[in-house]
Amino acid sequence: MNKAKIAISDFNRKYFKSAKLKISSTVFSSGERLITVKTFNNVFKGMDYYKAFDENTDILKSVKESSTTKFAISVSNYPEFYKATDIEGYQTFFDLNYK
């Protein structure tokens, strides 16, 4: 997880320096790990970040080689997601509504 956080931090510093993003990590009771990058002013800025993250093949190579799921989530949806810890379910919701 530390290698992934470092790679994401490097990515943020190179491409989103002025956004002053914060990175945190959480381990769910199931053992799954979540790295959170926050905070974006609106859904458009969040999706811009998501697209840049998805398209980056340089800095984030090691993150993408591991089995990762990535999505954007709003402040209002996050508590529900955290309670359910249903990564696959939220991924489906995200793909249908935001991609």
Q: Under 8 Å CB-to-CB from 30, ≥6 apart: which residues? A: 85
- Banded model confidence at residue 64, pLDDT cuts 50, 70, 90: low
Instruction: Note the pLDDT tens digit of each residue in 9-61.
Output: 999 999 999 999 999 998 887 788 888 999 998 989 999 999 998 888 787 87
pLDDT of residue 11: 92
pLDDT of residue 67: 64
Are 89 and 36 spatial neighbours (Cβ–Cβ below 8 Å)?
Answer: no
Residue spans per domain, the chain: 2-97
pLDDT of residue 78: 86
Q: Two tokens at 56? A: 């980056």
pTM of the predicted model, to two decimals? 0.81
Please give the Cα distance from 18 to 99 (Å, whole number). Answer: 25
Q: Two tokens at 12? A: 């943020």
